[in-house]
């Protein structure tokens, strides 16, 4: 009888652990992507790397807005060419076209996705929610660099340009949750 009780306890423990892992899988995968740059997730940095490499890379800027948030959102320019390790700066202009305050959250990634581990953002509006008053227009800067170690990676020799893409969604919405889940569960 004692053996059966131990077996049943072990089975319940395994089932409980599997259910817990299932609920934790999306947040854990998100942390993995943010730590490694997997799937085009960009990296965060505190400062520039301290060296540049004489290799040009063109950064293209893309902006999108969910149909469920009445905003205009676009980059101040469509591209910029920088050296590896050099600071880049771009401002995105957002305008709330609605007659009431709205709050948005931007999802972001880079393509090609293999470049995510080398694309570092020092300052970005995408690290939090953005609230705009009715009719308000703001500039939202992004300070970034491409890690000079990209030049040492043989798999990155074919990369001449990187696209930084943002999509704004209504904050704390089911649509944002679904977009995050789709992004972090994509292969």
Stated pTM of the model: 0.70
- 40-55 b/e with 16+ CB inside 10 Å = b? bbbbebeebbeebbeb
Q: Is the pLDDT of residue 63 over 90?
A: yes
- Mention every residue, 6+ apart, whose C-beta is less than 8 A from residue 141: 89, 90, 91, 92, 123, 125
- For position 186, what pLDDT does the model report? 54
- For position 114, what pLDDT does the model report? 93
Closest Cα to residue 61, out of 72, 76, 83, 48?
76
- For the sheet with 161-170, list strands across it: 79-84, 53-65, 161-170, 102-111, 130-132
Q: Which two tokens stand for residue 33?
A: 């992507």
* Residue position matching structure tokens 């469509």: 78
Share of the chain above pLDDT 70, in %: 71
Interval 7-62: pLDDT, tens: 676 655 665 545 444 444 334 334 444 444 344 345 556 767 788 999 999 999 99
- For position 127, what pLDDT does the model report? 62
> Where do the structural domains in the chain lie, given as residue ranges?
37-185
Cα–Cα distance for residue pair 124/109, rounded to 1 Å = 13
Distance of CA 129 to the CA centre of its chain: 13
> What radius of gyration do the chain's Cα atoms show?
21
Share of the chain above pLDDT 90, in %: 55
Q: Is the pLDDT of residue 178 over 50?
A: yes
Measured between alpha carbons, how far is residue 36 from residues 30, 113, 138 in Å? 10, 11, 31
Q: What superfamily does domain 37-185 belong to in CATH?
A: Ctag/Cox11 (2.60.370.10)
């Amino acid at each position: 009888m004692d053996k059966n009780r131990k077996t049943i306890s072990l089975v319940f423990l395994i089932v409980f652990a599997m259910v817990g892992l299932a609920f934790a899988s999306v947040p854990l995968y998100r942390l993995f992507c943010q730590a490694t740059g997997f799937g085009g997730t960009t990296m965060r940095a505190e400062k520039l790397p301290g060296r540049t490499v004489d290799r040009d890379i063109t950064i293209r800027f893309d902006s999108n807005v969910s149909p469920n948030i009445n905003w205009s959102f676009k980059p101040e320019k469509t591209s910029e060419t920088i050296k590896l390790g050099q600071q880049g700066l771009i401002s995105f202009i957002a305008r709330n076209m609605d007659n009431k305050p709205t709050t948005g959250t931007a999802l972001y990634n880079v393509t090609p996705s293999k470049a995510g581990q080398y694309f570092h953002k020092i300052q970005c509006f995408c690290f939090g929610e953005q609230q705009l008053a009715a009719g308000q227009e703001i500039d939202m800067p992004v300070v970034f660099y491409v890690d000079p170690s990209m030049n040492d990676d043989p798999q990155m020799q074919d990369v001449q340009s990187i696209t930084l893409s943002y999509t704004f969604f209504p904050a704390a919405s089911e649509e944002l949750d679904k977009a995050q889940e789709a992004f972090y569960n994509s292969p």
